[in-house]
Structure 1
Amino acid sequence: MSRRRSRRAAVLLFLAFVVMPILEIVVLIKVGQVIGPWWTILLLVLDSLVGAWLIKREGRKAWQALRERVETGRLPHRELADGALVVLGGAFMLSPGFVTDVLGILLILPVTRPLFRGLLVSYAGRQVARRATVSYGPASGPGDDTRPGPTVVRGEVIDEQ
């Protein structure tokens, strides 16, 4: 793993396990100060119920769309991305707190999901291109006058069985 990638991973872990819980606690305290502790708890419970209903509804839609796409023999790239976003949104909804619940709902709602789908597809495309470059070099295959390629030996295969 390169130094840059390990640093990025460390930052993401720090944000996920240190900054996010602190942010959730601060938001919970602020909301509790404004509307009271019992209303805050009620709001968290209602938020969880609405989130569970939304996950079930959108997860079912995403699964049905995926099945239909596969049955017709077409590539289900959009449907796979939607399914991944619904699952990720559900994971955010499982953690207690308003910040992660809002993020989870944004990932699950069909109105906002296309924005996140575009980000996910863009990220996945960059990762595939980067890994292909690392694995096979910048351009693999036979070379031409401008760049060398692997040595190609033309010949005939004779099976002696």
Structure 2
Amino acid sequence: MRILFLLFAILPIIEIALLVKVGGIIGGWNTIAIVIITAFVGSYLVRREGLHTLQTAQDKMQRNELPGNEIVQGLMLVIAGVLLVTPGFVTDILGMLFVLPGTRQYIASQVSKHMKTRVVSSAGFAGQGPFDSQQSPFTEAPKDQNGDVIEGQYTDKTERDEDHRLR
């Protein structure tokens, strides 16, 4: 909650103060030109990196792998696009950190690791959450001799028939 307060209350004040300061040093039109150029360059980079991330996610899905890291990177690219189009230097710097592949992959891996830890730790309490599975959500599904994954539901009719006979 405090982070949202910082984002919506303090960040615009910092942005305005920085724009006025930079405008006083290099001139108002130059400052406006820099803000517009960073918006165009940022939108180009977001589009390019977004298409690359989408292609990587599709490749993983064709190999029957979960594109978890790519989903996180895609969300980061959406946030980067919003930050880069928002006028200001602080938001541009944060947006560029989310767009550049090296920093985006590092941040995405940290976020994914944090999310996996939260999912695994909350799934550790069987019978207390919406996912009451005994199997970890990050283990591979069992396979038959051919390597095919067979999933489904079944009902053991022998137990039900024995219950009816006992009555």
Residue 76 in structure 1 maps to residue 105 in structure 2: no
Deviation at 1:85, TM superposition (A): 1.4
* AA at the equivalent of 1:37: G
Deviation string 1:21-69 (CA, Å, 9 cap, x unpaired) is 1111111111111111110000001001100110110011011111111
The answer to whether residue 22 in structure 2 is matched with residue 31 in structure 1 is yes
1:105 is aligned to: 96
1: CA distance between counterparts of 2:17 and 2:125? 43
4+ aligned runs moved over 2 Å, structure 1: 125-138, 155-160
- 1:75 aligned counterpart, secondary structure: coil
Question: Per-residue displacement from partner, 1:69-111 (whole Å, max 9, x unpaired)?
Answer: 1112112122222212111211211221111111011101112
Q: CA deviation at 1:129?
A: 4.2
Secondary structure of the corresponding residue to residue 73 of structure 1: coil
Report the equivalent of 2:159. Answer: 156
- 2:57 and 2:70 in contact (8 A); partners too: yes
Q: How many residues align?
A: 138
**So what's the TM-score if we normalise by structure 2?**
0.71
Is 1:90 the counterpart of 2:93 in the alignment? no
Identity value in percent: 34
Higher Rg of the two aligned structures: 2
* SS across alignment from 2:160: coil
Aligned equivalent of 1:51? 42
RMSD: 2.7
Cα contact 2:69–2:109 (8 A) shared by 1: no
Mind listing any 5+ residue stretches in structure 2 that lack a counterpart?
135-157
